[in-house]
Structure 1
């Protein structure tokens, strides 16, 4: 008589434990989801063909400039900022993460069009050959970004139709897992998309620095229009607004200068299709 009672008690104990532990199990399941999303993003958004010219000196200067800009922004906020300014800075950072890939999608064709106009007739066939992979990557990225809100909408519809307590929670987990995975996929694909501008860096070696010089001013104007002026006196505000984009542009055009003097590639030169250095 005792053994069946123990089995019945054990069954009733496990059910509330499962209901309490499932959030932890959900967090535990995020790791394999993130890993699979990262692996697929690397396969889908692989940069085909030979890499463009890589200059270690320029990369080092870019990293130093980035750390100095981060330190300068932190110093301005620490000296002149209020709690609201810190929150605004965080919002600006999140905005840049979201909007940068879309700015690349809009700005890259315009930059490529200018480079096509500047390039000589002999360079244009090789440049055109690299445009098609870039367009395909852009379409895949737009499709992935569009899938996230669509999947969230479908998940909400399914969740609203399931009202049973335990079954409803399981359905919520399963339905939310799909858009969360899609969001992870987009997050892991975005660095490649932004870094290569949908592999447009294969079209012409000077494309990355030229695009960077344009994007930084677009982001600065958008940040100023949405977030307003940074904290501090007028001189500090002016340096905060202009200093970052100006230094990025200076480094970008210094990179263009090095491409011309050290690698023989100019704005009118042929697209970089050889081996990286």
Structure 2
């Protein structure tokens, strides 16, 4: 008998039977302090939220960008391309669903065309490296041809709009179209830098006749490949995605011009014999896939603008006044 075993019972029963109850029985259980909760996951009722005993940490604003970051945002090729080729008219409708659909359509179409080109050109070529280079060159040439076709189509469309718009709206229409024309001129001028450098002999160092001209020549070559080339690549992508920021004129202009552009490119591919060596069913599928998909996305975009934002094709002519969309 000890303080640990006041009843004198052994610590365990050799026969495996439970020990007998102590003299007088077990004491009754204390009553529960709270009534039972049938639907509660725990037997205790919900307790009030106790505030955190320590004060919350103060909000620390993000550190301001450094001088290099600010400089990049001002004169970097990609930020400058975004300012030049993205629409920025005050009051313009920005629909994130439409923008996401346009990016998905562009990426899927580009991936499909590149896959087809790589598959058939590498299969028919003995040198894989040359085939990959040819595929990249073809895709770049096709993008540049699309930009040139758009540069020709856009002035024709603006001319038709000027002829159909009211006299009071023509000045406003020209003012909105000025940024679109400026984006076209900027892209064409940037692309013209490369042939001009080759034709004038600037790349070959023809003008490096003294130390000062040598430094200027190599600086110009470095800027051409470090700044102008990324600007051109980003500009071509943004120009095709935003259709030369024609939303500055009206929100319905980008889908209309995009549909016109893809059917023009399909006709160009048909008459120039694009995708030579591709089986006829696959060739028809890829030649009609892009126009049909872009047309479907364009019609859906026009319907969404009319249903969710109240913007229709009748506002394109600005019949209701130059100050309204």
Distance 1:75 1:43 in 2: 32
Quote how far apart the aligned CAs of 1:108 are.
1.2
Is the CA contact (8 Å cut-off) linking 1:229 and 1:237 kept in structure 2?
Answer: yes
Residue in 2 that maps onto 1:176: 221
C-alpha change, 1:155 and 1:239, in structure 2 (3 Å) is same
User: What RMSD, in angstroms, separates the aligned Cα atoms of the two structures?
Assistant: 4.0
Quote how far apart the aligned CAs of 1:71 are.
5.3
Runs (5+) with no aligned partner, structure 1:
1-31
Moved more, 87-96 or 201-210: 87-96
| Aligned pairs, number | 241
Distance 1:185 1:64 in 2: 22
Distance 2:106 2:237 in 1: 16
- Indicate the structure (1 or 2) with the bigger Cα radius of gyration: 2
- Once the two structures are superposed, residues 250-275 of structure 1 have per-residue CA deviations (whole angstroms, 9 ceiling, x without a partner) of 21122122222332222222569889
After TM superposition, the runs of 4+ consecutive aligned structure 1 residues lying more than 6 A away are 166-172, 272-275
Q: 2:156 aligns with which of 97, 101, 110?
A: 110
Q: Do residues 149 (structure 1) and 195 (structure 2) align?
A: yes
C-alpha change, 1:93 and 1:134, in structure 2 (3 Å) is same
Quote how far apart the aligned CAs of 1:106 are.
1.3
Quote how far apart the aligned CAs of 1:205 are.
1.2
Quote how far apart the aligned CAs of 1:202 are.
1.1
Distance 1:45 1:65 in 2: 19
Equivalent positions of 1:172-251 (< 5 A) are: 173-180=218-225, 181-226=227-272, 228-229=274-275, 231-251=277-297
Task: Give the match's secondary structure for 1:53.
Answer: coil
The TM-score with structure 1 as length reference comes to 0.66
Residue in 2 that maps onto 1:6: none
| Structure ranking higher in helix proportion | 1
Quote how far apart the aligned CAs of 1:244 are.
1.7
Distance 2:236 2:105 in 1: 22
Distance 1:130 1:113 in 2: 13
Distance 1:71 1:139 in 2: 29
Q: Do residues 136 (structure 1) and 182 (structure 2) align?
A: yes
Residue in 1 that maps onto 2:306: 260
The TM-score with structure 2 as length reference comes to 0.58
- Once the two structures are superposed, residues 227-249 of structure 1 have per-residue CA deviations (whole angstroms, 9 ceiling, x without a partner) of 53455432222112112211111
